């Protein structure tokens, strides 16, 4: 009887240790460098440089419904779904525009120029350059959902309106963690500001 209890307990313990180890290993993931220009309440105004990204269009702007599909499409490219079967290091954040025509993209490692990157096998993946932008960004923790994104989008919009900061383009969600990360999760909602 004790052997029957011991085996499931050992398996559960191994799963917990594996998930925690995976959570800590993703902390070394490359992220884009940016400069904080100023802070207003809970919002940072950040200047981001030009970035090369692998981008895909989404069929809707729901994180809950389209987030996984977009992630899988782009992950297929960096995990070898390209003309050279080349693996490309994962970076963070994963960025999803949440406007009328939604997209998702991964920032490519800064060691790559656009011409260095292999052509995607999927016609749904495009390698493009995102121009330098000044973004207003609000950060929150935990697992994300459409409801949490909307709450933080509303909060960000209210702070920007109150401070008479003009914006352009769509709001975007930025997720920094792998799905298996269970601790110290980081999410952001952002929008480009007019300088």
In order of 35, 91, 103, 172, 187, the CA distances from 136 in angstroms are: 12, 21, 19, 10, 14
Distance CA 76, CA 82 (A): 8
What predicted TM-score, i.e. pTM, was given to this entire model? 0.81
Residue 57 has phi, psi (to 5 degrees) of: -80, 150
Task: Give 158-169 pLDDT, tens digit per residue.
Answer: 999 999 999 999
In order of their start, the domains of the chain are: 30-193 (3.20.80.10)
Contact 148, 173 (CB under 8 A): no
Evaluate the omega torsion of the peptide bond into residue 90 and state whether it is cis, within 30 degrees of 0.
no
Model confidence pLDDT, tens digit, residues 170-195: 999 999 987 778 888 999 999 999 97
User: Using an 8 Å Cβ cutoff, are 31 and 91 in contact?
Assistant: yes
């Amino acid at each position: 009887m004790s052997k029957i209890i011991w085996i499931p307990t050992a398996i559960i313990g191994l799963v917990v240790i594996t998930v925690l180890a995976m959570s800590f290993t993703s902390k070394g993931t490359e992220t884009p460098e940016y400069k904080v220009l100023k802070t207003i309440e809970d919002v940072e105004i950040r200047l981001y440089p030009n970035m090369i990204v692998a981008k895909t269009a989404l069929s809707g702007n729901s994180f809950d419904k389209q987030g996984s599909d977009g992630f899988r499409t782009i992950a297929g490219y960096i995990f070898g779904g390209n003309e050279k079967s080349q693996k490309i290091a994962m970076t963070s954040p994963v960025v999803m525009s949440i406007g009328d025509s939604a997209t998702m993209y991964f920032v490519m490692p800064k060691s790559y120029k656009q011409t260095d990157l292999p052509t995607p096998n999927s016609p749904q993946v495009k390698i493009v350059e995102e121009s330098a932008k000044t973004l207003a960004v609000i950060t929150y923790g935990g697992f994300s959902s459409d409801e949490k994104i909307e709450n933080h989008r509303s909060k960000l919009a209210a702070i920007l309106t109150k401070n008479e900061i003009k914006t352009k383009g769509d709001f975007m969600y930025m997720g920094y963690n792998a799905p298996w990360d269970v601790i110290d999760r980081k999410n952001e909602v952002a929008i480009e500001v007019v300088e």
